[in-house]
Structures are given as structure tokens and as C-alpha cells.
Structure 1
């Protein structure tokens, strides 16, 4: 955190501890809304509530809520009166207001919508019809569009008079039925004679998305075509709204955060629970239980190979290395594939190439590590055959782990499950089991030479 924000955070915390709320109100009023919003990331829920209640300007409060996760924003609003909630929500873009309302108790949300002005409540209720993670759920309805028969001069005048319109990056062109028929940039608009009709200079091949498209797909499309905004249309190509690049950045951040939580065997719901230990533990336990049973299966397999282990006790020295290296290699491959799916760089058409690439990488790393651990085993226990067994097992285990790191995310993706969970304890546990099988299976094959 930069020094200025650190000083502001220290001041705010000190004033909260002292209960010096009048002074704290002055500090908040003098600070930029972006700085105030940034402070909330470092405060616990109690401190957030105190600070939020001291924000007197509805516009600043709206800015703060737009920067917070929606669950926290809803929790902060729930503690104030409904009229103030309405004032704050009316200062927010409709798409952000909808996300906050979705996270409110249903009864409170209905009361707030009733208090709101007719125009605002109608727009919000319309957006609430769409799925939360769809293009319709994140679009804004304050867009700028003109009829194709209008002239550039009329468009410029309308643009100058426009109010409450989301950032204008492009001018969208519609026909008499409000169907999207073209688009042009502001540069195009300003560099032609004012009498030119829009339909004569517009680009007819418009990149657009459907209202039911998943928000992650929308983000990939915006990134792919390097556009600042994308129009949203219904099944009849009627223009319904737009999604701007700032919303796309939020989506990418949200999806990346969600993937990281899943890869850690947790959930972003933890943010909603603050310091509630039991609820957080309940979120983390399922994957830890999976790991627990995986460990039991690994132990059972070792028990099944007890004769081999009893005959050659030196094998026990390398169990942690075999399972640990397999888990690490599988985790690396799975992480690469999960992020590839998430960013659109990997799909099922390129999966075979990715699989073969990871197979080769796993084999190369396995040979290097296998030779190394084989020499260590020989030098430690003075048995060349033990070195060969441990080395072969390492090569095989690491190669299998690398391929499993590709196949597991692909399997989940194929069946509509977020592949991020494949980088959690699932892959680690699976590679522990296969590593033990490979290690003791190889040792059993060469048992007569190891005695």
C-alpha cells in the first residue's frame, strides 16, 4: 500500500478506536471516494460498518459500495434506514445496484424497490430478470444509440445533450424496430460532413453478445477483439444494453479470484463471513475430508504392499519424495490447464496438443529427477537395483502426474463443472494414490533383486 493510503488507514483506525466520530467524519469528507473505498479492504466488518455510517454523501457511499464485493455491500446497507438505502442505490449504475439488491434479504429488497422512483425501480427490476453471471445481469441500460436514418450532425447534438448515459465509447445504430444494425466510433462521427447519414458510414458487422451469454465468455470476447464496450442484444437482435470494459475487468477479477479459491479448496463465501471461524471451517472442510480419505486409501495401499515393504525397509525412505513430486507436477499442469480454459487459450480442439506437451515435459522432468533420486538411493543404501527402482518409479509417477493434471480439468470441463476444482486436493490426492501404486508396483516386480 502506498504511504499516503497507509497514513490514512492508520488515522482512520486510530479515530475508530478512540470513538472520535466527528473527526472521522471530517477525514472521510476530505478524502477522495476512491481512497475511502480502498480503505474498506483493510478493515474488518465492524470497522467497515462504523466508517460507512459516517459517510454523509450518498454519491461517495455509492462509489464505496461499487468497489466492494456485493455481499459486503448489502450487509453494510442493511444496517441503515430504507430511505437512505434508496438514495445510495439511485446514485449507483443500475448493474451495480442490481448486484447489491440480489444479496439483500428478499423482503428488504422489495421494500427498497417500492420506495425508489418508478424509472429506477423499473430498470432494476428488468435487470433482475437476467441471471447474475450472464451478459444481461452485468449490462447497463444507459447506452447511446441513434436511428440509422439520422445524420451525423443530429447524432453529435444528441450526444451533447445526453444525460445519465454510460461512458460513450461507440455510437450504436439501430433501425425503426430498435434492432442493432451497425456501430461507429466517435472519431468516424466527427470526421465526416454533418449531413452524412449514419447508415452510410456505420460498420454493419457488429460484435455483440446475447443476454444469456455467460459473463466469462463476454470478458473473453472483449479481450479477444480489444474493444472498449460490447452491445447486448436479445434473441431477436434487439439492443438491450451495453457492457463496458470496466465491468469486464470486474468479471475477470471475480472469475480469477473464484478460481484461486477453488484451487485452494475453499470458496469466496469466506469474504462474507469475516472472522466467523466455524462457518469458514465448514467451507474448507469438504476438500480436507477428501484429502483425509485419500490419505487413508494411500495408507491402505501401503498396507497391501506390506510384504514388499517388510522385505526391503529401505523403500520407506523415498515414499515422501515419490508422492510429493507427483503432487507438485500434477498441480503445475492442472494450474496451467485451468488458467488456459479460463482465458480461452485452451479448448478441446487444442487439448491433444496440450496433453502431448505436458506428457513430454513430465517425462523430461521425471528423467532428471529420477536419475537424481536413483543416484541418491544408490549412494545411501549401496544397492544399485534400489536406485533403478526408485528412479523408474519417479519417472513414471511424474509423467503420469503431468498427464493427470491435463485430463482432470478437461474431465470436469466436459461435464460442465468448473475445472478449477481439479487443482485442489483432488489432483494431489489422486497423484498420491497413483504414485504409491507405481512405486510399490515397481518394487514388487524387482523384489528378488532388491533383497
Structure 2
């Protein structure tokens, strides 16, 4: 007689989670298991898993991987996390991993290291590879030269199809790592003169010269083209990438759409951190406590001083506030609502500055646009909050004080929020860094002053 099936949950063997599995692999020192684990890990999990390992365990896991897989792992981690890991590796081991990375990734990670650490790794690298990295590191990261890769295929215009095909076969292993869609044609002075689709090359007669097949005078970016211009171009053109040339029209690299988009996202992330008061760039919880604390306190300590200045307004009207204690309920509301309106204006101005839609010299145009908006929103919010005050206390004068203060403070906050980023930009300062604290202090001071001064003027009707 057949026995009834046992419940599935009694037969199932509990599988360890990825972190526990990785710890077991590191403890066993099994390279094959390490490669399999990395290959099967879901996208985006590698950074989280590595962050949970101790520094010693991270080193032991990296040691189990070959240089190519270690490089792929480094490229998948956030730059700061990968930089921390690389900085703790011996220079020789780090150099071997670097040799397997794309040129742009190499430069990005070197930016995370100290100058001494970078030089130690470069000294251990292949001299030609190290020289290329030093060349790329001279560029600003937010321009075409700083975003380009140098892994590309270029051939002289006098060469034939047969010459190119022979070279591709001879260097097949090297070129296999390149993401090749186009072949770039150069002249004797290494200047870009044309581009050739790989498909057209393979379909052409063997003896035909590249100069007879190429697309002459192709689009290219000067190496100093800023990120925003690159974004605008790729938004308008569905291209995989575009060649980059220096001031002498010499071909120096290729900038890819994916790298431009990634740089834009990274810039947006850093801007968000600065808005939130995180100084010093990207922060991960794997950073030393001292570093994280210093980065946050550098902004918070300044904010304390700014808030003391705003609170001094309240001290000036202490008697008025004690006479009408209901004002204490509305002071933070007026301040906060005005601050929110002003921060919206800051966000729009900062975004338009980034996109190149406005410049600091356009302040009058910006002021006119925001003034009208401030009047409409100020009246709407003032009527709403003033109505709440009237309904709560049954005093129309209290509603007039609160509503009028909020309306005027909103108008002021919107106009200042629109203009402060332009002013800071005009003085070569980062609008995202200082606009928020400045606006918060001003809206608090003006909001407190308007509420309490209006209340003092109407005090006989409020008591």
C-alpha cells in the first residue's frame, strides 16, 4: 500500500541566502564556486552582498576570482565602494585587475584613490596602458574627453578591406572585448576623415580602399564638449556613440550614449546629496564613521547658526507671542509652507541652469515669471490657512494676520528661490550646495517677522 506523500515543506532543504553562501565559499577557498556564484547572482545584488562582508572576506573573495571576473565585479560596484576595495589591495593585484577594465572605468576608479595609491597602481600596470590612463585622467570627468573610451578600431584611409579583415582576424582575442559597430578611418596625421559600418566592410570587395567606402566627414565631438551638450545631442540622435577628436582633429576616443546617460544620473545623484546636506560627494555606510560624521556635521553646524538667526526674530516679539499664544501654532506652518514654495523655485532654476535654458544674466526674466506665480500661489495658500485660523479661533483678525503673512512670505520665497541659484552661479558657486540653507533662513526670518509684526499691529483685536 502506497504511503501518503509527506508535506513538501518537510522534505525541502533550506537554502542559505546569498550572503551566507558567499561566506561559505570564502571559507572553503573554492575558485570554481566563486565564479559560479558571481555568474548566478541576480543583477544589482553584488554591491549589497560585498558591503556585508568584512574587509578580510572581501580580499579573500577577490583572490578567488581571475583578473577578468574581478574587473567585472569592480565595474558593477558603486565607484566609491570599488575604490575602497581597490585601495586596500596590494598595488600589483589592483594593477592586474585594472588591465582588464575599459579605459573610462580605469580613470573613474583612480579618481576614488589618493594620488599615491593611483601612482602605485600605475607603476605596476603595462607602461602603454598606464600612459593611456594618465592621458585620460587630464580631462574633466563631465566632458567628452573624460567620458570617452579609447578601445576602438581605427585604420588608415589607404588600407584595403583585405588589410582590415586580416588585422581583425590577427587580433581577434583583443578585439573581442571591444563593442564594435563602426570602424573609424584616419589619415596619415591621425585625423578623423571617415567612418565605416562593420556590415559594409564585410560586404565589400577585398581590394577596395577604405577611402572609397567610408562615410566622409562624420559627426564628431571636440574632446572638451560639456556633458549637457552631449546629452542634448544623444536625445536628438539615436546613435550608439560618436568619435571624439582633439583640437587638431586627431581621433582620441569614442563617447558612448550609455556613458553619457550614466554620468548624467551620477551628477543628479550628487546634486540630490548636496540638497540634503551631505557634503564631500557620495556617501556609503561602509565609509569610516569619522568621515561620515564630518561630512554631515559640516552642514548641520552651519545650519544651527542660521536657525539661531531666524529664532532671534521670535525673541524680539516675545511679549506679542505670549499675549496671543495661538500664533505659536501657525509660525512653523507659515515658515514651512513658504519654504516648500521656495524650494520648488530653486529646483526649477537649478534644473534650467543645468539644461542651459537660463543664465545668471536672465534674472529679470526669471523674476517676472516667478512673481506672477508667487502672487497666485500666495493668495491661494493665504486664504486656506487664514480660513483655518478663523474657523479654529473665530477671530477674523487672526485669520487676516496668518493669511496675509503666508501670502507675502510665499511671494518672497518664490522670488528668492528662483533668483538665489542664478546669483550663486554668477559667483561661480554651486547652486545646489547653498541655495537651500540660504532660502530656509530667509523664509524663516521673514515668516516670523511678518506674522509677529502683523499681530503686534492688530494686537488689540487679537486679545
Same fold (TM over 0.5): yes
For 1:286, which of 284, 298, 310 is the aligned residue?
A: 298
Match of 2:18 in 1: 12
CA distance in 1, matches of 2:55, 2:18: 11
Greater CA deviation, 159-168 or 137-146?
Answer: 159-168
1:59 Cα shift? 0.8
Q: Distance between the aligned counterparts of 2:84 and 2:407, measured in 1?
A: 53
Secondary structure (helix, strand or coil) at the match of 1:387 reads: helix
From 405, 410, 415, give the equivalent of 2:417: 405
Q: Do structure 1's residue 53 and structure 2's residue 60 form an aligned pair?
A: yes
Paired residues, number? 443
Distance 1:358 1:183, change over 3 A: farther
Q: Counterpart of 2:403?
A: 391
What residue number does 1:114 align with? Answer: 123
Cα drift, residue 188 of structure 1? 6.4
Taking the aligned partners of 1:233 and 1:57, their CA distance within structure 2 comes to 35
The structural deviation recorded for 1:208 is: 0.7
Contact 1:145 1:173 in 2 (8 A): yes
CA contact (8 A) 1:146 1:174 kept: yes
Match of 1:5 in 2: none
Q: Deviation string for 1:130-187 (max 9, x for gaps)?
A: 3444433332222223444556776666666665454234443433322234445556
**Do the aligned residues in 2 keep the contact of 1:138 with 1:243 (CA within 8 Å)?**
yes
- Residue 70 of structure 1: aligned partner: 79
**Separation in structure 2 between the aligned mates of residue 155 and residue 345 of structure 1, nearest angstrom:** 45
Using the TM superposition, give the Cα deviation of residue 348 of structure 1 relative to its aligned residue in structure 2, in angstroms: 5.3
- Highest Rg: 1 or 2? 2
- Aligned counterpart in structure 2 of residue 427 of structure 1, from 412, 415, 439: 439
Structure 1 length as normaliser, TM-score?
0.83
> Where does the alignment leave 5 or more consecutive residues of structure 1 unmatched?
1-8
Following superposition, the deviation at residue 321 of structure 1 comes to 0.9
Distance 2:57 2:66 in 1: 15
Structure 1 pair 317–112 and aligned structure 2 pair: CA distance change class (3 A) = closer
Contact 1:49–1:76 (Cα < 8 Å) also in 2: no
1:251 equivalent in structure 2? 263
2:97 equivalent among 88, 93, 97 = 88
Name which of 218, 221, 225 aligns with 1:208.
Answer: 221
CA shift for structure 1 position 421:
1.9
Judge conservation of contact 1:127–1:136 (CA < 8 Å) in 2.
Answer: yes
- What is the Cα deviation at residue 394 of structure 1? 1.2
Alpha-carbon offset, residue 262 of structure 1: 0.5
Instruction: Give the Cα separation in 1 of the matches to 2:43 and 2:280.
Output: 20
8 Å contact kept, 1:169–1:229? no
- Counterparts of 1:20 and 1:237 in 2: how far apart (Å)? 51
| CA contact 2:335–2:447 (8 Å) conserved in 1 | yes
Q: For the structure 1 residues 71 and 237, does the alpha-carbon distance in structure 2 shift closer, same or farther, using more than 3 Å as the test?
A: same
State yes or no: 1:35 paired with 2:47: no
**1:310-354 Cα shifts (integer Å, max 9, x gaps):** 554433231011001011112222223323433455555876665
CA 1:393–1:186: 2 relative to 1, 3 Å: farther
Sort the Cα spacing of 1:346 and 1:68 in 2 relative to 1 into closer, same or farther, 3 A.
farther
Taking the TM superposition and a 5 Å limit, the aligned residue runs for 1:206-245 are 206-210=219-223, 212-215=224-227, 217-245=229-257
Q: Which of 65-74 and 38-47 deviates more?
A: 38-47
Counterpart Cα distance in 1 of 2:190 and 2:272? 41
Q: 2:279–2:298: 8 Å Cα contact kept in structure 1?
A: no
Change (3 A) 1:104 1:10: farther
Q: Residue 337 and residue 26 in structure 1: after superposition, are their counterparts in 2 closer, same or farther (change >3 A)? A: farther
Q: Is the 8 A contact 1:98 1:127 kept in 2?
A: yes
The range that moved more, 123-132 or 366-375, is 123-132
Q: 1:237 to 1:440 in 2, by over 3 A?
A: farther
Aligned match of 2:28: 22
**8 Å Cα contact 2:185/2:214 also seen in 1:** no
Q: Identify the range of structure 1 (109-118 vs 393-402) with the bigger mean alpha-carbon deviation.
A: 109-118
After superposition, the Cα gap between the structure-2 partners of 1:438 and 1:168, relative to the gap in structure 1 and judged at 3 Å, is farther
Q: 1:272 to 1:306 in 2, by over 3 A?
A: closer
Retained in 2: the 8 A contact 1:171–1:185? yes
**SS of structure 2 residue aligned to 1:232:** strand
User: Could you tell me the TM-score, scaled by structure 2's length?
Assistant: 0.82
Worse-superposed segment, 65-74 or 297-306? 65-74
Instruction: Indicate conservation of the 8 Å contact 2:191/2:251, yes or no.
Output: yes
Post-superposition offset of 1:26: 4.5
Q: Distance in 2 between matches of 1:224 and 1:430?
A: 41
- Map of 2:6 onto structure 1: none
Tell me the residue number matched to 1:6. Answer: none
The correspondence for 2:329, drawn from 295, 304, 317, is 317
Whole-Å separation in 2 of the counterparts to 1:152 and 1:346: 49
Query: 1:404-425 CA deviation, whole Å, 9 max, x = no partner?
Result: 2211222222222222224543
The residue correspondences of 1:324-363 to structure 2 (distance < 5 A) are 324-344=336-356, 347=359, 355-363=367-375
1:61 partner SS: helix
SS in 2 for 1:31: helix
Query: Residues 170 and 424 (structure 1 numbering): CA distance in 2 closer, same or farther, change over 3 Å?
Result: farther
